[in-house]
Structure 1
């Protein structure tokens, strides 16, 4: 029994479609691709012919809306183009050698660095990356002293005089055990990092503002260290909701917990950072955080026949 071989999707057609979908404008997409508006329109028509479905609706005043097939394609086209671009860079990036020292809190290292380091090593196999895990307030002096080239830091600890790039902006949440009702105890037992931790400061401020009684049951040198008593059902902590160990869950208003503010992760370079290795690593870190932020805001659309 013979099977029809799928057609190969042209990355140029996908890129034109993504620009139109994201900008909601054929004119803006034409500017970004360096083509005429009619050429971009023809690219979309070719893509629709290959797929056999309409992807876009053009409304009055030049407005553009995605069909359900277009919404499905947009999610996967982004991933395909990211992979295409990464392969291209791998074979066309100038050789870089040397070493670079990166500082990061341990929770950021666990959440983001595995993917960053893997992709970076594939493109720059001759670069040695040293990773120093420490709280943000300990990384700032190291940056100033020049023992670090680059650091990921919680926004509340951003050093003056050094340029910072925002990588992430998202909410903090209360974290508790899935099997225990620790968050219902009075006073509320807490497991938090050191007194200089901006997450700890924010959590205590919200509890004080709402009049919720609490006690500091456990203090850890690092944020990861606060999770152990929480997993044992002995305390509650604060953290981003991403990459929680099995057995933990986010707690919200329905659990009687007050809201927490957003937090930021920033990337800071030392004044005398080693180059070009520092900029190369910074680019990969920035791309990884951008992908994570984009995934977090994607609508969860699925194509249903």
Structure 2
């Protein structure tokens, strides 16, 4: 009986979720040709066509069946590795993650782990991405979620592009935003949101004044929500009390950032860390389906 490697199943499910070979490659840290070769190998092993003859990423009826089983297999694989990790002598995963991602994603992840009976312990540190990646290199973390400006750092387990957007209070009269100076609320120096925001303003010759800095998302939310100023955040982690300021409001265009999940190379812990990273990655993918993806 044939055995199907889980990396092929994970690549297939990611293509289905993102509806794009290219986007799936970006998410999984692989090139588009490498993803195509994985799908060719998977179809050969299964002996069925997973995608329709019209091309693109429209899956067949048998592809739907495979996708359903693939999700179950991956969930069981990840759950098994996480439960086995509780037997590890250290019994703990050290996770580094930016503050806003921790606030947005960790409650969902922890509730899923609790529901599945995972008995791991976690040591979570929130910091700016540069410090987290440095800590990973120095062996301080098992897994790091970090942003980089121009492409993934070395050794990424999975990467994706994250659009940034201007953000203000829900009831703030955006039509009265003063052109000079623009009042800015932001994270401390070293934050890529801050760097991208200030670079865009300087590029467009906009005068601005930093009126509030805070290392926490809740601090930024309080200041922006009170109408004290505007800020920049990743589009999909905007707190419910705030809203996007549309581009028509005469604010400069922002560059995307690259977000990656990184796993330490420690062989003793890598299997457990990679299994947890895969579960984390699945959650990011599930919340990042772009209907405009090719």
Q: Which has the higher contact order (CA 8 A, sep 6+)?
A: 2
Aligned pair partner of 1:225 in 219, 229, 235? 219
d(CA) in 1 for partners of 2:72 and 2:104? 21
Measured after TM superposition, the shift of residue 219 of structure 1 is: 1.0
> Is 1:140–1:157's contact at 8 Å kept on the other side of the alignment?
no
Find the structure with the greater CA-based Rg: 1
Aligned pair partner of 1:170 in 162, 173, 181? 162
Matched, 1:153 2:146: yes
List per-residue Cα deviations over 1:150-196 (Å, max 9, x = no partner).
Answer: 21111149997x52234331211000112112571231100011121
TM-score in terms of structure 2 length = 0.69
d(CA) in 1 for partners of 2:223 and 2:137? 34
TM-score in terms of structure 1 length = 0.67
1:86 maps to what in 2? 75
- 2:211 is paired with a residue whose SS is strand
Measured after TM superposition, the shift of residue 125 of structure 1 is: 2.2
- 1:95 is paired with a residue whose SS is helix
Structure 1 gaps, min length 5: 1-14, 45-55, 300-305
- 1:286 is paired with a residue whose SS is helix
> Is 1:23–1:29's contact at 8 Å kept on the other side of the alignment?
no
2:253 maps to what in 1? 259
Measured after TM superposition, the shift of residue 281 of structure 1 is: 1.5
Measured after TM superposition, the shift of residue 32 of structure 1 is: 2.2
Change (3 A) 1:81 1:192: same
RMSD, aligned CA: 4.1
d(CA) in 2 for partners of 1:278 and 1:57? 36
> Is 2:221–2:241's contact at 8 Å kept on the other side of the alignment?
no
d(CA) in 2 for partners of 1:35 and 1:270? 31
Measured after TM superposition, the shift of residue 124 of structure 1 is: 6.6
What is the number of equivalent residue pairs in this alignment? 257
d(CA) in 2 for partners of 1:66 and 1:147? 43
137-146 or 208-217, which moves further after superposition?
137-146
- 2:262 is paired with a residue whose SS is strand
- 2:84 is paired with a residue whose SS is coil
Aligned pair partner of 2:122 in 129, 135, 158? 129
List per-residue Cα deviations over 1:20-60 (Å, max 9, x = no partner).
Answer: 98699xxx9785244676xx47xx9xxxxxxxxxxx9866x
Measured after TM superposition, the shift of residue 199 of structure 1 is: 1.5
Measured after TM superposition, the shift of residue 231 of structure 1 is: 0.4
Structure 2 gaps, min length 5: 1-8, 22-37
1:142 maps to what in 2? 135
